[in-house]
Structures are given as structure tokens and as C-alpha cells.
Amino acid sequence: MPQSLFTSVKSMELENLETIRYGSTDGVAEICLNRPEIKNAVNSTMWRELEFCLDDFASDADKKVLVVTGAGGAFCSGADLSDRSRTVDPPMHRMRKVGEVALKLHRLAKPTIAKVPGIAAGAGCNLAFGCDLIVASDNARFSEIFIKRGLSLDFGGSWLLPRLIGLHKAKELAFFGEVIPAAKALELGLVNRVVGPEELDRVVDEWAQELTLAPPLALSLSKAMLNDSFSMTMAEALEQEARSQAVNLVAEDAVEAIAAFKEKRKPVFKGR
């Protein structure tokens, strides 16, 4: 019997995940979408497990940075349109649940990095674009393929694309569903770095490790301000900067940063 997308994730256990490999080392957590036989297409089980992993990462103070990637040389080919459980829930309810997962990714207070080894299409494309930073292999390809499936944008694409590349370019990607090679994605500003396949793990590991050493409070506040910036006036942004900096200035991390500078050593930040 197909399982509803609304099945509770509270009782899940990390060792029982079926479609995702999830773990952490030295403060860096990794979600690896793991259905390589169909390029990591997302079925209802993967949506639930993705939500579970995002909740776990958000609540665990020892996990400071999240890397999202895919197994088998692909990132994610989008929703699994052959998933029989798609017919269990009403379409509007199902899509609202998918939207909740997108919001959980967006609202994470800690930094996220998409490591894209290959195709990222549809919801998989917007899963990558929803991360704070994107490092792609030069084998990677991106496509807002929805229009070719008789569908409109989802998983936050209608919000993300105009902010990443401007309204007209966003419409071009949405209207035509073109497959964009990694080099073109870099040119458009959709990704941060494009590297050779053999360098992808190293570059992402270096960025992730560097971010684990950054001051968590200041990093979180900067992320929140940047995410909110498009809905604010300059005056409102300056007020938010003032409030955030007032918090930082009385925090232990700022004291530690000054002490480390004077002592010519690397600071050790604790997020308080």
C-alpha cells in the first residue's frame, strides 16, 4: 500500500533511512540522496526522510554545516513521477508538504552547501539553488524542466530564480526548461564554483571545514539578513544590522575574536 506523504517523521531513526545516506563528521553533516538507479529522483519516502534529516540537523548544535549531494554521479533528477503514492494524498495537500520541506531548508540558521556532481532537474534543481552555496562539477547540468512535463515551478523555484539571476532570465529558464551546463550556470550566477569532478569533494570539504570554524552566531545573523534583504528598505536593513551587531558585540565570540587577534592565534568560536 503506498504511504502518504503526511506520515509522521517523528518516529524515524537515522539507521533506518531508505532513500538517504545521512551522517556527520567534525561538525559537517551530509545528506546524500541515494536512489542512483533513477538519478536520485524524489519519491514520497525521500521527501519524508529529507524533512527528518533537516529537522535533525537544525536541532543538533554539534552539526554546524550541511552538505547536500546525490549518489551515483547525479544530484537529483526531480520528483519521481512514477511514485504510486503521489495518488494517495490530494495534490494541493501534497504540494504544501513539499513546500514545507523547501521552507525548512531555507530557514536553517546554519550554512548549507549543495555539492552537485551531475544532473539537477526540477525540484532537484531548486533543492540545489535553495542551499546557501553551490559547488558544481563541470559535469553538472541544471534544468527547470517542469514546463516539459506540463508542470509549473515548485520547491521554491519561483522565489529563488528571480533573486539569483533576475526576473527576465528566470522566466527564460522557466518557460523553456532548457538544460544548462555547469559553465553556463556559473556565468549566470546560479552557482558559486565549478570544478573538475576529481576536485569536487576536496573543494566542498574545504569550504565546509572553514565554515565550521566561523562564529556561529554572526554567521547565522548574516544569513538571516541576506535572506530577508529583498523584502526590506535600506532603512529597515540598517536597523536589522544594528540589532544584529548589538547582539554580536556583547557575545563571547566577539571577545574571543579580539583576544585571538591580539595573541596572534586562531579564534575558537562557540556561538555565544
Query: Which among 170, 181, 118, 122 has a CA at the least distance from the CA of 150?
Result: 122
Write the single-letter amino acid at 50: L
What's the pLDDT score for residue 219?
95
pTM equals 0.92
pLDDT beneath 70, residues of the chain: 1-13, 15, 84-88
User: For 199-235, how does the pLDDT look when each residue is reduced to its tens digit (9 = 90+)?
Assistant: 999 999 999 999 999 999 999 999 999 999 999 999 9
Question: Rounded distance, CA 184 to CA 128, Å?
Answer: 16
